[in-house]
């Protein structure tokens, strides 16, 4: 059995109030949003690095931006397997972000444990 919903003057008045509230809120919030101005690219360059002989942590990074806003850089990270990961990248408006990842050295892995890696071997 379906019930008919009777629209009353009261519900119509309520909808008008809600609509008015939404319109006022929209106009006020539009005035509160700051206008962001587009600034020209600001050239920069930086580099940093860490060389900790005690822990074996060696990594560095360089990055620069030119007057057109193109960014280029490189960073190196020592991986747990003994290799060095080198990421050389650039980013500009035409090509987006483009990275070239390469590795230096040969991966070295520890020998397999005597019992193997399977902790759930059947013992029957």
pLDDT digits (tens, 9 = 90+) for 37-80: 788 889 999 999 998 888 878 889 999 999 999 999 999 999 88
Residue 38 belongs to a domain = no
Query: Is residue 107's pLDDT more than 70?
Result: yes
Is the pLDDT at 86 greater than 90? The verdict is yes
Supply the mean pLDDT for the chain. 83
Which of the four pLDDT bands, split at 50, 70 and 90, describes residue 32?
low
Whether residue 122 is contained in a domain is answered as no
Q: Which of 17-21, 32-36, 74-78 has the lowest mean pLDDT?
A: 32-36
Enclosing domain of residue 61: 44-104
Provide the total of helices (H) and of strands (E) in the chain, helices listed first. 1, 5
From CA 84, how far away is CA 56, in angstroms rounded? 12
Residue 23 lies in a domain: no
Residue 88 confidence (pLDDT) above 90: yes
Q: How many domains does the chain have?
A: 1
Rounded percentage of the chain residues whose pLDDT exceeds 90: 41
Whether 49 contacts 75, CB under 8 Å: no
Distance CA(90)–CA(96), nearest Å, equals 8
State pTM to two decimals: 0.60
Contacts of 98 (CB under 8 A, 6+ apart): 89, 90, 91
CA 41 to chain centre: 21
């Amino acid at each position: 059995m379906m019930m008919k919903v009777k629209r009353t003057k009261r519900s119509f008045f309520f909808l008008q109030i809600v609509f008015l509230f939404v319109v006022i809120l929209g106009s006020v919030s539009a005035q509160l949003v700051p206008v962001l101005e587009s600034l020209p690219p600001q050239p920069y360059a930086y580099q940093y690095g860490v060389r900790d002989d005690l822990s074996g942590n060696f990594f560095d990074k360089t990055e620069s931006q030119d007057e057109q806003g193109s960014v280029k850089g490189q960073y190196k990270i020592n991986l747990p397997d003994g290799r060095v990961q080198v990421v050389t990248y650039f980013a500009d408006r035409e090509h987006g972000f483009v990275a070239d990842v390469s590795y230096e050295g040969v991966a070295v892995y520890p020998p397999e444990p005597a019992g193997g890696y399977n902790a759930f071997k059947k013992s029957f």
